[in-house]
Amino acid sequence: MENGPNDASTSARYGDVERRLLRTLISSVSTSNDFRTALQTTLRAVCEETGWDYGEAWIPSVAGDVLECSQQCHAPAPELASYRESSRHVVFPPDVGLPGRVWTSKEPEWIPDVSALPKTRFLRVDIAREVGLKAAVGVPIVADKQVLAVLAFFMFESRDEDGWALEMVSVAATELGALLRRVQAEERNRWHQNTQAMINALLHLSLETLTLTETLDRALRLIVSLPWLKIESRGSVSLVEDESDTLTLAAQCGLAQELCELCRSVPFGTCHCGRAAASGQTVFTGHLDESHEIHHQGMTPHGHYCVPIMFDGHVRGVLNTYVEEGHTHEKAEQAALEAAADVLASVIERKRTVEALAVNRASFLSAMRTAGDTLVIVDQKGVITALDPSELSPEQPDQDGIQRNHHPALPGTVADAGPATEILESVAAGYRVIRMLGSGTTGFVFLVEKDNRQFAMKVLREHGDRRESVARMKRFFREAEILSNIEHPAVVRIHQLGFSTKGKQAPYLLMEYVSGHPLTRYIAGDNLTLAQKLSVIGQITDALVAVHGQHILHRDIKPANILIGPDQRIKITDFGIARLHDSALTATHDVMGTPAYMAPESFQSGPVDHRADLFSVGAVSYELITGEKPFRGASPMAIGYNVCNSAVRDPADLVPSLPPQVQSLLLRSLHKEPDARFASAAEFSGAIAAIPDDIIASFPDETR
């Protein structure tokens, strides 16, 4: 091929063509948000305005498909990288099979038989005249040294201006590269939004009162119904039931290589591909057809894709999906399915915990039940007392006043537990007790370890009074039930409700252990910036969105019940006096909490709803930002009186340079009238997010 136009008139003519082509390309790129449409327009324009007879483009469509040079450009990856860096062209022989999507300027039959074309690495190539193809060229569209697509053009007749036509391909690739980067960024954003919506739907589904099997069936139906995933209307989830279940990958995951690698490292054993079906439960959705039967005989059907369901580093199951005919999962689709598998892992763990709680609670009450409807309680001296079951009702009021401080932080050792030592020894079988984390009026909390995992074990404290024992047992069960219904990263997670198998069958809760300190330490030390303090408050309100979404009132939001980890992520703890709230049946006469953080209506006989928790958040926020509690008093009754009748001190008096937006936030959250406060935790979070970053950033680190 020649290097370009060789006289003035030809040069002028080609200059007009070049400008016209550029206008077409730029117009297509600037007016289109659809890369594929712009790509087809570009292919047609280049062929119409230059000497190329036919153009194609290949776009990678699967994870790891970076247009392998050895298959698609017949050049090793390093060589192609050097071409990319110097903006040179690479030859792209047209006889290569491509896994990527193909877009063309004309119908495929326009290409002659090119099966005999030689493979080459040269910049340009002359093809044997007998096949009728003079030249073929491929130009990569590159961003950040990664091949995003390849333009391929073919010429069947000899022309003098081939060199100029070749340069036009580079122009087209440059313009398309700019568009592709923009469009891919927009597509990533759409995929992120779609994936997040799917995750939220799955999490919401997990909170419904369904069995594990019902939940997985609904989750599968949801996943396969999403049109943007291009999945057939069927799928399955295979579960691990015990350590001997090796998931027999030939039957359950189609010999998925990545899962085989995991199976070689997980505790429950080595993958035995090709053996009988696994013992674990399998939940299907959609129809079972021939491909399913083949799949379960150890063969991989066309379009099968599986993702391991992992929890705490262990394989809990496999999510199997089947793609539409001729479709290959793109990287974003695989990421979405992996996100779904992560959510399913949490759902499976939570549902199994809930079901175990139900079984354990039923077993415990059954063990205590004697003839008829009578229950028995064993006190400290081993005396068995008959008790009417109605006394365990959560609707019974507590008898011990308005203040409840469950766990003042009292560090110590197991020996410090005193009366709890015997109970701990009976309930902690199989666990290594590290130390006591704290104690309160209802129980002790220990740090324990099992299988290299640490947990917080809360043991119910014994009490000599029969009615108090009933009240404590009631709150203990209620805390377990409420925690099992909440799924949020800022709420401490419950793993197990257990009962000792010897002695007095003392109940215990096995919960997530949070390595951190209570918010009280940060209030006293004042080592957080205003931005960090607002972040903590925002995390609390975000968590309450999930809590209130389950119709649960915490009723004891205070600094001691908020833990901050090393990464400054918070955990809300102690749901011992939380209760379920029904808007049609609002709780009354149930005065509990810590007076300095309780809402005015909590001291009165009227209704109490979720806005009481938001008042508590306001009190915590006020103290965190100003260093002082909003309401003080010499006794609980005096504090309660001030909460109900005294005006809160303007936070600007304590922190003069506090931004007005923050002052308004604090004062609104502490309003006496619930209707004048934030209507919901979500609105509270929105008010925090609405404070401009530049105002927060300009505020001095020392807030007081």
Catalytically active residues, by annotation: 556
Query: 24-48 burial, b if ≥16 CB within 10 A, otherwise e?
Result: bbeebbeeeeebeebbbbbbbbbbe
Longest C-alpha distance within the chain, in Å? 113
Q: How far apart are CA 162 and CA 150, in angstroms?
A: 19
**Among 498, 353, 513, CA closest to 426:** 498
Handedness of CA 256, 259, 263, 267 (dihedral sign): negative
Coil, strand, or helix at residue 226?
coil
**Among 351, 359, 344, 339, CA closest to 208:** 351
| Ranges assigned E (strand) in 550-692 | 552-553, 562-564, 570-572, 579-580
Q: How far apart are CA 487 and CA 493, in angstroms?
A: 8
In a 10 Å sphere around its CB, with 0-12 CB exposed, 13-18 middle and 19+ buried, how is residue 248 labelled?
A: buried
Q: How far apart are CA 63 and CA 60, in angstroms?
A: 8
Q: Which residues pair with 321 in a beta bridge?
A: 235, 305
Torsion on CA atoms 70, 73, 76, 82, rounded to nearest 10: -160
Q: Which residues pair with 481 in a beta bridge?
A: none
Q: How far apart are CA 423 and CA 442, in angstroms?
A: 14
Cβ proximity of 483 and 510 under 8 Å:
no
Angle (nearest 5°) at CA 519 between 518 and 525: 110
Cβ proximity of 665 and 626 under 8 Å:
no
Six-digit token string for 495: 């793993």
Six-digit token string for 108: 């495929």
